[in-house]
Structure 1
C-alpha cells in the first residue's frame, strides 16, 4: 500500500477547520481511468469503475483486497447506493441506468427518453422520494474508448429524473456536458457540474418537486475541469478537478483544496461516520480520514 503526503491548501479561513490524516493511502492502482466510487457501510466495501477496461471493481475494507465486482460492466461510470442499500449504476456502454438487486440480478431503471436512447448516463443520485436523478453527456458514444461510438438519438446532453413508476422526465436541457451532481442535505438544491463549458463550472438549482428552477453558476474551475460533486455536513460543496478536490463554501467561495498527485475524476464520503474520503484519480484509488463528514440525507 503506497502512502502519499496529504496536501490541504488553505484559501479562506473557513477551510481551516478541515484537515485530516497526514498521509493518504493509495489503495489500488493500475487502472486505465477510475470513476464512480460508492461505499457500502453494511458490508464495509467500496465499488468503483475502471471505465475503459469495462469493469467495476470492489475494495474490501476488512482485507484491503481489490477484486473484480463485474466484468463486463457495460462501461459503467458513476454509481450511488439507494436507501435500501442497492447499487445504482450509470452504464455508458449500455446507455442506461440500472439497479443491482440484493440477489445480484439487474433491473433497468431507465434507458430512453421519449422513445430515444440516452447518450451515455454518467453520474447519478437518489432523492428521498425514490426518484433517480442522472446526467447524460456523450462521452460513451464519442468513441469506442469508454463505450461504443454512435450518433446521439436525442441530439443534446441533458439531466433527467426517473420516478419509481418508470416515467422519465427531462429536468435540465441547457448544458454542454452535464457531469457530477449532488443534492444539498435538505434536498432543496441540486448542484450540477458542466464539464465542457469554458471555464468548467458548477451550477446550482432550486428543487421544485420534480422540476428544477434557477441554474446560476455557483463556482468555476481554475485547474482543468470539474467532474464528480459531493456536499458535506456543513453545506460545503466539493468537486473533483485536475489538481485535486476543490471545496466551496455555501456562498460559492472557493475556500480550499485537497491537492492530489493524479487527475481526480470523482470521490465519495464513506466509512461508518462518513468522514473518510475515497477518491478516484486517473489510474488509482486513494483514501484518507478527514475532519468533516459527508452530508446526511433524509
Structure 2
C-alpha cells in the first residue's frame, strides 16, 4: 500500500481549520491541504449515532447503533440500528428492524456465536475479522453495569473464533490489527464504568501486543502501553494504510503514529465513541445526536472495509 508523502500542506498549515489540531507535522500528511469537518446528519430525538459505525463501500451506506435509551412508546430500554445513505443529497437515514439484542460494535461481516463452552458472553462489543477468516471480539461486562444483562459468567476478555468456531480466550476491550497483522491493539476503558460513572485511577489506555505463533496457534505476547489520550477513553480503534492508529476519545478522534506519537486530533465537541473511514479520505464520526463527515487527504483509507 502506498505511503503518504509530504506535500504543499505544510506551507498551508496556517489555513487549516481549528477542528484539526496538529501536534506533529506528520498529521499534515493525513489531513491534506484542505481538510473539512461538517455535520451531515442530526437527530435530537434520541442518541442514534453512538456505536458500530460500519461503512459498506458497495452501497455507500453507514450502519450505526444508538446509545441505550428509553423508548417513549414502549417505555423500555432499547438500542436501535440506523442505515445512513452517506452519498445521498441530502443524506438520508432509516431505522433497521433488527433482531440483534442490544447491538453495539460491528464490522462488515458476521459469524459470532453466543457462548464460551456453555457460559454466556456478557455483552460482545468490538468485532474484527482477520485475514485468515477468524473472528476476534471483545466481551466487557458493560451490559450488566447498565442493568440489561444478568450477572456476568465470564470476566472482561477478548476472544478468537477459528473457522470451526472453537474459542481461545486471550485478554481485555476495543480491538484492532495493524495492517500486516503483526501487532494487535486493545484498549482498556476501565476508567469509564458501564453505568456512566468514572474512576480516573483506572486504565484509559491502548495496549499493543505482538501476534506470535506458538505450536501453530496464535498468541498475543509482549504487552506494552501504546498510548493514553488526555481526554476520555480510547474507543472505536481504527488503523490506516500506513499503520497510524485512530481512536474516538473525549475530545474527538485522536491519531497516533505506529510508534505511539500523538500526531493530531479531529476535535468534536463532547467527543466520539466510534467512527469509520469511507472512500477517498472521508471519515464518518459518531457524536450521539450527530454524524460528522471529515474530509482528509484523499489517499487516506482504513484497513477495515
Shorter-chain TM band: 0.7 to 0.9
Structure 2 counterparts to residues 143-292 of structure 1, below 5 A:
143-144=146-147, 148-154=148-154, 156-172=155-171, 175=172, 178=173, 180-197=174-191, 198-209=202-213, 210-271=218-279, 273=280, 275-291=281-297
Report the count of equivalent residues: 259
Long gaps (5+) in structure 1: 83-87, 89-98, 100-108
- Aligned 8 A contact 2:66 2:288 in 1: no
Partners of 1:12 and 1:250 lie apart in 2 by 13
Q: Which residue is 1:102 aligned to?
A: none
Larger radius of gyration: 2
- Aligned 8 A contact 2:284 2:291 in 1: yes
**56, 59, 66: which one aligns with 1:40:** 56
1:199 to partner: Cα distance: 4.3
1:15 to partner: Cα distance: 1.4
1:253 to partner: Cα distance: 1.0
TM-score, normalised to structure 2, is 0.79
SS in 1 for 2:243: coil
Partners of 2:107 and 2:138 lie apart in 1 by 13
Question: Structure 1 residue 110 and structure 2 residue 113: aligned?
Answer: yes
Superposed CA deviations along residues 207-263 of structure 1, whole A, max 9, x for unmatched, are: 124321122010012101111100111211011101001111111111211100232
Structure 2 counterparts to residues 46-125 of structure 1, below 5 A:
46-52=62-68, 53-63=78-88, 64-71=91-98, 73-82=100-109, 88=110, 99=111, 109-125=112-128
Superposed CA deviations along residues 160-209 of structure 1, whole A, max 9, x for unmatched, are: 0011211111022xx4xx1x221111111111111115341100011124
Cα RMSD of the aligned pairs, angstroms, is: 2.0
Long gaps (5+) in structure 2: 1-16, 69-77, 192-201
**12, 21, 24: which one aligns with 1:12:** 24
Q: Which residue is 2:36 aligned to?
A: 22
Partners of 2:284 and 2:244 lie apart in 1 by 17
Partners of 2:100 and 2:122 lie apart in 1 by 17
- Aligned 8 A contact 1:182 1:230 in 2: yes
- Aligned 8 A contact 2:122 2:149 in 1: no
1:129 to partner: Cα distance: 0.5
- Aligned 8 A contact 1:185 1:297 in 2: no
Partners of 1:282 and 1:250 lie apart in 2 by 29
1:116 to partner: Cα distance: 0.5
TM-score, normalised to structure 1, is 0.81
Spell out structure 1 runs of 4+ moving beyond 6 A. Answer: none
Partners of 2:51 and 2:304 lie apart in 1 by 22
- Aligned 8 A contact 1:269 1:278 in 2: yes
Give 1 or 2: higher strand fraction.
1
**117, 133, 137: which one aligns with 1:134:** 137
Q: Which residue is 2:3 aligned to?
A: none
